[in-house]
Structure 1
Amino acid sequence: MNHRLIPEALRPIAEKIEAQERISDADALALYESSELNALGMMANVVRERKNGNYASYIHNRYINYSNICILSCQFCAFAAKKRDPHAFEYAIEEIVRVVKEAIPLGITEVHMVGGLHPTLKKEWYFDLLDELRALDPDLHIKAFTAIEVRHLAQRIFRLSIREMLELLREHGLGSITGGGAEIFDPVVRDTICRGKETAEEWLDVHRTWHEMGGRSTCTMLYGHIETLAHRVDHLSRLRRLQDETGGFTGFVPFAFEPQTTILAHIKPATAIEQLRNLAVSRIYLDNIDHITAYWVSIGLPLAQVSLSYGVDDLHGTILEEKIFHMAGATTPQQQTVAALEHAIREAGRKPVQRDSHYRHVVSSKNGSATGVRSAEAELACV
Structure 2
Amino acid sequence: MTTESILQAVTGGERLSDADALELLRSNDLTAIGAAADAVSRRLHPSPVRTYNVDRNINYTNICTAVCDFCAFYRGPKSDEGYVLPREELLAKIEETVALGGNQILMQGGLHPKYKLDWYEEMLRDIKQRFPQVNIHGFSPPELYHFTKVNKLPLRTVLERLREAGLGSIPGGGAEILVDRVRDEITRGKVMTDDWLEVMRVWHQLGGISTCTMMFGHVETLEERVEHLRRLRELQDETGGFTAFICWTFQPDHTQMSDVPPAGSHEYLKTQAVSRLYLDNIPNIQSSWVTQGLKIGQLALLFGANDMGSLMIEENVVAEAGTVHYLSLDQIRDAISELGYEPRQRDVFYNLVDPELEQKAIDANRAAAERAAAARAAKAEAAEGAPANLVELEASS
TM over 0.5: yes
Give runs of aligned pairs for residues 51-200 of structure 1, distance below 5 A: 51-53=44-46, 54-157=48-151, 159-200=152-193
1:382, distance to aligned residue in structure 2 (A): 10
* Contact 2:55–2:105 (Cα < 8 Å) also in 1: yes
* Contact 1:179–1:220 (Cα < 8 Å) also in 2: yes
User: Is 1:21 matched with 2:11?
Assistant: no
Q: Provide structure 1 residue ranges, at least 5 long, that are not aligned to the other structure.
A: 1-7
Give runs of aligned pairs for residues 198-213 of structure 1, distance below 5 A: 198-213=191-206
* Separation (CA, whole Å) in 2 of partners of 1:375 and 1:69: 32
| Partner deviation per Cα, 1:166-220 (whole Å, 9 max, x = no partner) | 1111111110011001111121111000133111110000000000000000001
* Separation (CA, whole Å) in 2 of partners of 1:365 and 1:246: 35
TM-score (norm 2): 0.89
Residue identity matched to 1:346? S
* Contact 2:100–2:365 (Cα < 8 Å) also in 1: no
| Partner deviation per Cα, 1:197-248 (whole Å, 9 max, x = no partner) | 1111100000000000000000011101011111100100110000000000
* Contact 1:337–1:382 (Cα < 8 Å) also in 2: no
* Contact 1:107–1:365 (Cα < 8 Å) also in 2: no
* Separation (CA, whole Å) in 2 of partners of 1:215 and 1:81: 31
* Separation (CA, whole Å) in 2 of partners of 1:204 and 1:321: 28
User: Is 1:320 matched with 2:313?
Assistant: yes
Residue identity matched to 1:171? E
* Contact 1:337–1:380 (Cα < 8 Å) also in 2: no
Give runs of aligned pairs for residues 206-355 of structure 1, distance below 5 A: 206-333=199-326, 336-355=327-346
Residue 377 of structure 1: aligned partner: 367
Match for residue 46 of structure 1 among 39, 61, 75: 39
The verdict on how the C-alpha distance between 1:63 and 1:339 changes in structure 2, with shifts beyond 3 A counting, is same
* Contact 1:80–1:116 (Cα < 8 Å) also in 2: yes
The structure that has the greater radius of gyration is 2
* Separation (CA, whole Å) in 2 of partners of 1:211 and 1:381: 43
Structure 1's consecutive aligned runs of 4 or more residues displaced over 4 angstroms after TM superposition are 372-375, 378-383
* Separation (CA, whole Å) in 1 of partners of 2:365 and 2:260: 44
Residue 389 of structure 2: aligned partner: none
* Separation (CA, whole Å) in 1 of partners of 2:169 and 2:68: 25
* Separation (CA, whole Å) in 2 of partners of 1:380 and 1:73: 41
* Contact 1:339–1:379 (Cα < 8 Å) also in 2: no
Residue identity matched to 1:342? R
* Contact 1:320–1:382 (Cα < 8 Å) also in 2: no
* Contact 1:71–1:119 (Cα < 8 Å) also in 2: yes
* Contact 1:177–1:217 (Cα < 8 Å) also in 2: yes
* Separation (CA, whole Å) in 2 of partners of 1:134 and 1:82: 30
Q: Provide structure 2 residue ranges, at least 5 long, that are not aligned to the other structure.
A: 374-397
The verdict on how the C-alpha distance between 1:103 and 1:18 changes in structure 2, with shifts beyond 3 A counting, is closer
* Contact 1:367–1:374 (Cα < 8 Å) also in 2: no
- When the two chains are superposed, the root-mean-square deviation of aligned CA atoms in Å is 1.9
Residue 358 of structure 1: aligned partner: 349
More helix by share: 2
Residue identity matched to 2:335? A
User: Is 1:35 matched with 2:28?
Assistant: yes
* Separation (CA, whole Å) in 2 of partners of 1:369 and 1:91: 29
Residue identity matched to 2:367? E
Residue identity matched to 1:11? E
1:135, distance to aligned residue in structure 2 (A): 1.5
TM-score (norm 1): 0.92
1:374, distance to aligned residue in structure 2 (A): 5.7
